[in-house]
């Protein structure tokens, strides 16, 4: 994803007060990706997906340009509960009241 496209894809729903965020996020795209995998070797089996043993929910954001709607809907049945909402990739951050 290009730095110029980042705000439109990930931060389309940002309020004007947070207009600095896309610039910060764009700057972060030059950073090397970090992959973090943690599990307790005594209790967790990394071969078993967490959604099979933990309570889970999902939000399908119909206006998300970062994760295709079809992809969101294909993964949604794995969750115990599902909320469909009109919003972008940042809906959980900037509209938490719409979720809870």
pLDDT tens-place string over residues 68-98: 999 999 989 988 888 898 888 888 777 778 7
Q: Are the C-beta atoms of 85 and 98 separated by less than 8 Å?
A: yes
Parallel, antiparallel, or unpaired for β 81-85 and 57-61? Answer: parallel
Q: Which residue has the tokens 């969750």?
A: 79
Kindly report the pTM of this predicted structure.
Answer: 0.55
Token digits of residue 89: 């990739």
**What Cα–Cα distance (Å) separates residue 64 from each residue in 22, 47, 58, 60?**
16, 29, 14, 8
Query: Mean pLDDT across the chain, nearest whole number?
Result: 72
């Amino acid at each position: 994803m290009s730095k110029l496209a980042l705000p439109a894809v990930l931060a389309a729903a940002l309020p004007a007060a947070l207009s600095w965020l896309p610039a910060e996020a764009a700057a972060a795209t030059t950073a090397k990706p970090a992959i973090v995998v943690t599990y307790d070797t005594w209790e967790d089996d990394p071969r078993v997906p967490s959604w099979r043993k933990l309570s889970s929910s999902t939000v399908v954001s119909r206006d998300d340009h970062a994760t295709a709607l079809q992809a969101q809907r294909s993964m949604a049945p794995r969750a115990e509960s599902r909320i469909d909402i009109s919003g972008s990739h940042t809906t959980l951050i900037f509209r938490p009241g719409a979720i809870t």
